[in-house]
Structure formats: structure tokens, C-alpha cells
């Protein structure tokens, strides 16, 4: 199959969180199964060596109103083609989502599809990631229905339902979309347009990044207002777990950490702990439990709830903290203040630093993720691969990947707690300390077991391929090759399966 991905971030060129990792890994692992994969993404100002990348197409006309254009560059990617839209006015800044976020989203969506038409490269499946590109399925079902692209099936992956892309109704004019899309079972939301909602109604199939999150978002607590739409599309939604890209995250080969190790040579991990304590100015104490955090500092991650429980245990000299993150300025200040008040015990770095992220994963004993919700989460997978036991809230992908410890448990790989509050986090930290001090043999066995639990993209890739095949089947059934695409508005507005069989063209 030919697969087109549209994504706002693509690691290693651009990344604000796991979406960049996941999009690249899905492309790479599906290509490894013999499929032809292209990824179209913006040439963000932060892409290293951006203007040295080879030119794929000097100029691409983009069917937005007002008319627009960009240059397209390309880079060598593992098994797939990575194509970058160069538009300095929109994407030249360093921030992936800053500035005119909706303008960027519309441009990426339309340009990604126009590039297929310009190159004569017609995909079987258009796979889009999150809100910024969620209108691509809507375009396929409406303004592009007279083009060769119309027969492409579409798959929308939900990495995070919290961000939906709320915009004004002028979005319709900018994309040339028909006015009937401004209805409650299409794009309309609170009098404006909700980009993600459009994708949820119009994509041929939907995926999200863990089975538990797929169930959670069908309920009001995790649906962020879109749970009725999720329930409406439940038959077309599945959860496919993310994995670990072992080319980047493997302690036996990782050159960013002080020493390499395997489950049989955990001594290297002790050297990583010493190195991390040195990196962050922590007291050089091999015995004290060291808790690591690498995270966006936003409400999703629940780290606001962890400040007090951490402070109490740091003050009592029970543990050390190594935290790397950025986001909410108030939370950044709270953690900075924590580090300043507890020198030698709490090491905090505000910012983005891939090298330090690796060193925390390797050097810590435990890794804290108290998320309010977590579609999948990659860091708990990385931490298990690095024999660093995750302390997680039982939600989304955290629930699917970390097996809870209690004394004597034979399958456990981490500490799991229920409630999103400070008391539960305090309890979980105390459980981790109890495990470390009172059950050293179990602690040791858990580290090795966690390393042995392999969550790989090689497991996810065939599931994506099966999803694509089913999407193609559904699309072809609704839209047989011999039938000309001439929809009426009413047909497409039906929601779940927007494209319906048409009368044979004479």
C-alpha cells in the first residue's frame, strides 16, 4: 500500500512530545513491512540544518483562499520519504504550535494533499495525527471528491483528545468547504469550528494509542466534550499501543548515557546514577532512591499534584529528585523553588534536552508519571527498557503497560496508583521506598523483568497495516472504482461513513 502521513511533528527533525516520536516510528515500522510511505510535515524553524535539505519541489501551489504556495524539501529517513513544507511566514518560528496555529494547521493539511496531486503520488491511505491535520478526511470527502485522491481511505490517530483546534467559521472559506459542514454532526462546535470533530466524523477509521484510552474517551471524564462522537464511531475505533524505538532507546547501545548496561550487567546502571547525580549537583549517594521525571509540565501530566508529596519526602532525606521539563510557568517556578530550597536533593532543569532525558531514564531508580490522563505515554516504556521502575497512575496506556507491585507479586513492573491527588502520589512514593528498602530481591527482579517487557513498534506495525487494509476495504465498498465521485452534500453529512455508493455514471 501507499501511505501518506500528515503530522505537525516528526522526530528527530521536530518534536514537542511523543507525537513526533510516534509518527516517525509508525512510518518507519510500516515501511519496514514493505509499504511505500511518505510523511509530510512543516519545516519548522527549529529543524536542524533546515535550509541545507535537498529541494523536492521548488514551488507547490496550495489550494487555500487566499492562494498560497511553498517550497518542499526532503530528507533521508529510515525507509520512508520525509517531505518538509517550507513557508517562512508560517513555519519559520521555533515553536511548533505557536503563532497562527490554525493557519499553520490548514496550510499543512491542504498542502500535504496538494503535494500528492502535484507529484501524481496517490496514496491508498491518508493517515493523519491529531487536530492540526484532522480536516484532511473532510477535504477528501468534499472539495477533493472530483480528484484522484477521493478514493484514498483515511485514518485519524488520536494521540491526545484534549487539543481539538477550536477556530472561527472562516476556516470553511479558507478551505473552500461547503456551508453545510457547519452542523452539529460535522464541524460545528460552540458556534465555531472544531477541527478534530470534523476528522472524527469523516475519517474512514480511527485509532488511538492504547486500548484503555480507546475505552476511556468514550466516557465524559476523558472525552473533553467529544465523547458522544467517539461513541458514535466506536465500531471504527481501535487502540494500538505505542512502542519503543530501540535505535534511540536501548541502554546496551545508548551513547548519551555514562555507561551501557543490560539486564545481566546492571553495574552500568549504577554508573549512570552516579553520573546523573553529578549532572544535576545531587549528593553522591549510591543508596538513596532517585526519582526521575521527564515531562511536559501541563495539567495532563499531574505534576502539580506531586510537588508537596515530593517536598515532604525530599526534606526527610528519603529520596532524591531529577526532573527535566517545561510548560506551565507557575509549575516551572514551583519546581525551581523546590530545587533551590533543597540543594543536593532535588535537581531540576527547565527546558528541553534529549541528552539529559536519556541520562535521567538511565540514572534514576524510579520514574514518576502521575498523569490525569495518558493516551499511551512513552516515558514509562523507556524507563522500563532502562530498568527504571515506573510509578504511574492507572490510566490510559500507563494502565496497559505497567503491572502493579504488591509484596510477592510475580508479574509486577512498577508502582500503580488510582487517584489523581497528592495523597495517592504520596502513597505511591512510599510504596516505592518500601519496595526498595524492604524487598531488595523483588526490586532487583522487577528491574530485570521490566527490561524484558518489550513494547515494540514491530508489534504495532502489523496492526496499523491491518487497520489500513480495513479502511481501504470500507472506502472501496462505499466508493467502488467504477463509480464516479459525485456526492451530494447530504450523503457526506451522514457522519460515520460519509462516502456512500453513488449511481453508476453513464
| CB-closest chain residue to ligand ADP | 18
CB of 136 to ligand GLC, least distance (A): 18
CA dihedral sign, ordered 80, 463, 217, 172: positive
CB of 156 to ligand ADP, least distance (A): 17
Binding residues among 338-367 for ligand GLC as defined by CB under 6 A: none
211 CB-contact burial (10 Å; exposed 0-12 / middle 13-18 / buried 19+): middle
Q: What residues have CB less than 8 Å from 264, skipping those under 6 apart?
A: none
CA gap 387, 368 in Å, rounded: 14
CB of 413 to ligand ADP, least distance (A): 16
| CB 274, CB 306: distance < 8 Å | no
Out of 357, 360, 376, 451, the residue judged to bind ligand GLC by CB under 6 A: 376
Alpha helices in 127-226 (DSSP H): 136-141, 170-175, 195-202, 211-216, 220-223
Out of 41, 142, 212, 242, the residue judged to bind ligand GLC by CB under 6 A: 242
Out of 5, 8, 10, 18, the residue judged to bind ligand GLC by CB under 6 A: 18
Q: Parallel, antiparallel, or unpaired: how do β-strands 68-76 and 81-86 relate?
A: antiparallel
Give whichever of 87 and 129 is closer to ligand GLC, judged by the CB atom. Answer: 129
**Which residues are near ligand ADP by CB under 6 A?**
17-19, 21, 294-296, 324-326, 352-354, 357, 377-379
- How many residues make contact with ligand GLC (CB under 6 A)? 14
CB of 203 to ligand GLC, least distance (A): 17
CA gap 68, 61 in Å, rounded: 6
Three-state SS at 349:
strand
Q: Which does 209 bind (CB under 5 to 8 A by kind): ligand ADP, ligand GLC, none?
A: ligand GLC
Q: For residue 379, give the nearest of 18, 11, 13, 8 by alpha carbon.
A: 18
**Region of 18-26, 69-77, 93-101, 329-337 interacting with ligand GLC (CB under 6 A):** 18-26
CB of 147 to ligand GLC, least distance (A): 30
* Contact pattern for ligand GLC over residues 171 through 210, marking x by CB under 6 A: --------------------------------------x-
The distance of Cα 502 from the centroid of its chain, to the nearest Å, equals 37
Residue with cell 535537498: 54
CB of 363 to ligand ADP, least distance (A): 14
Give whichever of 19 and 105 is closer to ligand ADP, judged by the CB atom. Answer: 19
Out of 41, 68, 142, 160, the residue judged to bind ligand GLC by CB under 6 A: 160
CB of 375 to ligand GLC, least distance (A): 4
CB of 47 to ligand GLC, least distance (A): 19
- Our finding on whether 461 is near ligand GLC (CB under 6 A) is no
Q: Where are the beta strands (DSSP E) in 17-143?
A: 36-42, 54-62, 68-76, 81-86, 125-129
Residue 359 phi/psi, 5-degree rounding, is -70, -30
Give whichever of 112 and 377 is closer to ligand GLC, judged by the CB atom. Answer: 377
Q: Which does 236 bind (CB under 5 to 8 A by kind): ligand ADP, ligand GLC, none?
A: none
- Our finding on whether 378 is near ligand GLC (CB under 6 A) is yes
Three-state SS at 411:
coil
CB of 84 to ligand GLC, least distance (A): 21
Q: Which does 294 bind (CB under 5 to 8 A by kind): ligand ADP, ligand GLC, none?
A: ligand ADP
Q: Which three cell numbers stand for residue 173?
A: 472559506
| CB 269, CB 387: distance < 8 Å | yes
Give whichever of 17 and 485 is closer to ligand ADP, judged by the CB atom. Answer: 17
CB of 320 to ligand GLC, least distance (A): 26
Q: Which does 347 bind (CB under 5 to 8 A by kind): ligand GLC, ligand ADP, none?
A: none
Residue with cell 466534550: 225
Give whichever of 72 and 362 is closer to ligand ADP, judged by the CB atom. Answer: 362
CA gap 488, 222 in Å, rounded: 35
Q: Which does 400 bind (CB under 5 to 8 A by kind): ligand ADP, ligand GLC, none?
A: none
Other residues' Cβ atoms within 10 Å of the Cβ of residue 427: 16
CA-derived radius of gyration, the chain? 24
CB of 420 to ligand ADP, least distance (A): 15
Q: Where are the beta strands (DSSP E) in 287-335?
A: 290-297, 320-327
- In sequence order, what are the beta bridge partners of 446? none
Other residues' Cβ atoms within 10 Å of the Cβ of residue 503: 8
DSSP state of 405: P
**Region of 63-71, 339-347, 373-381, 426-434 interacting with ligand GLC (CB under 6 A):** 373-381
- Our finding on whether 325 is near ligand GLC (CB under 6 A) is no
User: What is each CA distance from 343 to 104, 347, 450, in whole angstroms?
Assistant: 43, 7, 31
Interface residues toward ligand GLC, by CB under 6 A: 17-19, 22, 159-160, 209, 242, 374-378, 397
Amino acid at each position: 500500500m501507499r501511505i501518506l502521513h500528515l503530522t505537525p511533528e516528526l522526530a528527530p527533525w521536530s518534536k514537542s512530545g511523543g507525537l513526533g516520536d510516534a509518527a516517525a516510528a509508525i512510518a518507519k515500522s510500516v515501511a519496514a513491512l514493505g509499504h511505500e510511505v511518505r510523511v509530510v510535515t512543516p519545516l519548522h524553524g527549529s529543524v536542524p540544518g533546515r535550509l541545507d535539505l535537498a529541494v523536492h519541489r521548488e514551488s507547490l501551489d496550495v489550494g487555500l483562499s487566499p492562494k498560497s504556495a511553498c517550497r518542499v524539501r526532503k530528507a533521508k529517513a529510515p525507509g520512508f520519504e520525509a517531505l518538509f513544507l517550507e513557508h517562512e511566514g508560517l513555519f519559520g518560528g521555533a515553536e511548533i504550535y505557536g503563532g497562527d496555529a490554525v493557519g499553520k494547521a490548514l496550510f499543512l493539511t491542504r498542502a500535504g494533499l496538494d503535494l500528492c496531486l502535484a507529484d501524481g503520488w496517490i496514496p491508498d491511505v491518508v493517515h493523519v495525527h491529531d487536530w492540526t491535520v484532522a480536516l484532511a478526511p473532510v477535504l477528501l470527502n468534499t472539495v477533493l471528491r472530483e480528484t484522484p485522491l477521493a478514493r484514498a481511505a483515511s485514518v485519524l490517530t488520536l494521540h491526545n483528545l484534549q487539543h481539538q483546534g477550536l477556530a472561527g467559521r472562516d476556516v470553511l472559506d479558507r478551505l473552500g468547504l461547503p456551508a453545510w459542514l457547519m452542523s452539529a454532526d460535522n464541524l460545528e462546535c460552540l458556534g465555531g469550528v472544531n477541527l478534530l470533530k470534523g476528522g472524527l466524523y469523516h475519517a474512514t477509521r480511527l485509532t488511538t494509542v492504547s486500548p484503555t484510552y480507546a475505552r476511556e474517551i468514550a466516557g465524559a471524564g476523558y472525552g473533553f466534550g467529544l465523547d458522544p462522537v467517539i461513541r458514535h464511531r466506536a465500531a471504527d475505533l481501535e487502540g494500538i499501543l505505542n512502542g519503543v524505538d530501540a535505535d534511540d532507546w536501548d541502554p546496551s547501545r545508548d551513547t548519551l548515557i555514562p555507561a551501557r548496561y543490560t539486564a545481566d550487567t546492571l553495574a552500568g546502571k549504577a554508573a549512570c546514577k552516579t553520573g546523573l547525580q553529578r549532572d544535576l549537583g545531587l549528593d553522591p549517594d549510591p543508596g538513596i532512591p532517585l526519582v526521575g521525571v521527564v515531562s511536559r509540565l501541563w495539567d495532563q501530566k499531574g505534576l502539580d499534584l506531586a510537588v508537596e508529596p515530593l517536598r515532604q519526602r525530599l526534606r526527610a532525606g528519603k529520596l532524591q529528585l531529577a526532573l527535566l521539563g517545561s510548560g506551565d510557568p507557575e509549575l516551572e517556578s514551583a519546581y525551581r523553588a523546590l530545587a533551590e530550597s533543597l540543594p543536593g536533593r532535588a535537581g531540576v532543569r527547565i527546558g528541553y534536552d534529549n541528552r539529559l532525558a536519556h541520562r535521567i531514564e538511565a540514572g534514576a531508580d524510579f520514574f514518576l508519571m502521575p498523569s490525569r490522563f495518558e493516551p499511551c505515554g512513552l516515558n514509562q516504556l523507556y524507563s522500563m527498557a532502562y530498568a527504571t521502575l515506573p510509578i504511574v497512575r492507572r490510566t490510559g496506556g500507563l494502565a496497559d503497560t505497567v503491572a502493579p507491585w504488591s509484596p510477592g507479586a510475580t508479574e509486577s513492573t512498577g508502582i500503580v496508583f488510582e487517584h489523581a491527588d497528592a495523597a495517592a502520589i504520596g502513597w505511591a512514593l512510599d510504596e516505592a521506598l518500601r519496595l526498595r528498602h524492604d524487598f531488595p530481591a523483588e526490586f532487583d527482579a522487577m528491574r530485570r523483568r521490566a527490561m524484558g517487557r518489550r513494547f515494540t513498534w514491530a508489534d504495532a506495525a502489523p496492526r496499523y497495516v491491518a487497520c489500513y487494509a480495513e479502511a481501504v476495504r470500507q472506502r472501496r465498498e462505499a466508493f467502488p472504482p467504477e463509480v464516479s465521485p459525485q456526492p451530494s452534500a447530504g450523503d457526506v453529512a451522514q457522519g460515520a461513513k460519509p462516502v456512500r455508493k453513488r449511481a453508476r455514471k453513464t
